[in-house]
Amino acid sequence: MSEQRADVVVIGAGVSGLTAARRLTQADHSVVVLEADSRVGGRTVNLDLGNGVITEGGGQWVGPGQDRVLALIDELGLRTFDTFVDGKSIYLRNGRARRYDGTIPPLRPHVLADYAQAQLRLERMARSVPLEAPWTARKAREWDATTFGGWLDAHTFTEETRQLFTLAFTVANSEDLHSTSLLQQLFRIAACGGIDHIVNITGGSQESRVVGGTQEIARRMADDLGSQVVLGSPVSAVTYDEQEVLVRSARVDVRAQRAIVAMAPPDVERIRITPDLPVRRAMLQRRWASGSESKLFAVYDRPFWREQGLNGQAVTDLPVASYVVDNSPPDGSVGILLTFVGTASSGYGQNWSDALLDDPQVRRDAFLADLTTIFGPQAAHPTTYLEKTWSHEPWISGCVGSRPPGLLTQYTDADRRPVGRIHWAGTETAIVNQGYLDGAVSAGERAADEVGRLLETTTITSARSKS
């Protein structure tokens, strides 16, 4: 067991931790990054399909308004490309498939009106939520006492509208909407640029992907940091006092002036922190429930649906493929169709059987059956099928952090308020685009800035006391 010294120790080599380490290194501070896994990237990972083709197993889309991640992508010399949208999308309900252009499915007028009134009401409520302190909204307690799913049940008039909202927000949250706080969702709507921005591809959060995959963002930052990043070294304990912080990990112990913990709050539960965390922070970690999901990919020798004038996007009431997108590489050298399967029955009025959640073969067969219904018999025979199940990750408990009712109003800013020499990063601590890659970057930058100012203060103070 070796011991190192640094100005700052960062725990977690996801996008957030690596961004924090990059910014501190750029400001001439010494940093060590400790990562439990044998790879960097955390909730971003490239899945290798052979012949130089990858698909993204975790976070993949970026879009307008996500300024911090777009700036980082540019700084790292990476490029983005548009999610494929040329052609018609499919809306399939009650066995009837209809093709449509643009972003709005062909809804009957009374369903469209219902959807619009719900969107209007939610966005009006969201405007009254202060981004820096959502718990101070006038109706914060009332909204945090109920679930988003409960609000939809009470304030929409058609099953179809409820199902559309459920589908869109379950994919975005990877959480059963009856488990997530209404206040949390209003905060997200306000901080992410509105419901259309959350839901849409063009002009929204799903507009672009990164050439080479989003894990490249973390890989390039780690390459620049070199031996400062220690992989395969889970942190088990953090101790701090007035002088320093000591972080114990499998491969190295690090003494530093400050620590940045860059992971989702429930994942910090595995680390023994001494002295004990304040009650608000301890309870936040314990009660935070991150939803999880699987990404299912069917790979074909070419994107055959494009030859039929289709863009590969489908919104359906089928059991597994309730939302499908074309996830082919930028050159279209192979065709990839992607869907999301949550850990809670998510999509379009689905009642999943136990077998569907528990048995990968049942999931595969059901997914291919759905794709065949949507795109015809060619879809039944992919060259490759793969799935990435995030509930199997050893160090990451969920996909996107989503607070259950009560957490925002009871524990307020405990997600990012420093505790002694410990500072918090990770997308869950972001204000704008929390849960997204953009939030991971801005949180890493905010934590680096917070710590950097304290390090400078310490240096100046010690220089003054010497003189």
Ligand X SMILES: Cc1cc2nc3c(=O)[nH]c(=O)nc-3n(C[C@H](O)[C@H](O)[C@H](O)COP(=O)(O)OP(=O)(O)OC[C@H]3O[C@@H](n4cnc5c(N)ncnc54)[C@H](O)[C@@H]3O)c2cc1C
Residue ranges in contact with ligand X by CB under 6 A: 11-17, 34-37, 42-44, 58-61, 234-235, 262-264, 267, 270-271, 293, 295, 390, 395-396, 399-400, 426-427, 435-438, 440
How do 323-326 and 422-425 pair as beta strands?
unpaired
Q: What ranges in 76-214 are assigned the alpha helix state H?
A: 109-127, 140-144, 148-155, 159-173, 182-191, 195-199
Q: In terms of CB distance, is 43 or 281 closer to ligand X?
A: 43
Chain position carrying tokens 């969201």: 126
- For residue 87, with 0-12 CB atoms within 10 Å meaning exposed, 13-18 middle and 19 or more buried, which class applies? middle
The residue among 89 and 173 lying less far from ligand X, judged by its C-beta, is 173
d(C-alpha 304, C-alpha 382), whole Å: 11
CB of 54 to ligand X, least distance (A): 15
In the chain, % helix, strand, coil (3-state, to 5) comes to: 40, 25, 35
CA distance 45 to 326: 18
Q: Which is nearer to ligand X, 315 or 437 (CB)?
A: 437
Phi-psi region of 115 (alpha: psi -120 to 50; beta: other; left: phi over 0): alpha
Q: Please classify residue 413 by burial: count the beta carbons closer than 10 Å to its beta carbon, then call 0-12 exposed, 13-18 middle and 19+ buried.
A: middle
Of residues 35 and 176, the one with the C-beta less far from ligand X: 35
Residue 44 or residue 322: which is nearer to ligand X going by CB?
44
3-state secondary structure of 448: helix
339 vs 427, which CB is nearer to ligand X?
A: 427
**Shortest distance in whole angstroms from residue 19 CB to ligand X:** 8
Coil vs helix vs strand at 33: strand
Phi, psi of 377 (to 5 degrees): -60, -25
Shortest spacing between CB 361 and ligand X, in angstroms: 21
Q: Tell me whether residue 267 or residue 370 sits nearer to ligand X (CB atom).
A: 267
**Measured from the CB of residue 211, what is the shortest distance to ligand X in angstroms?**
15
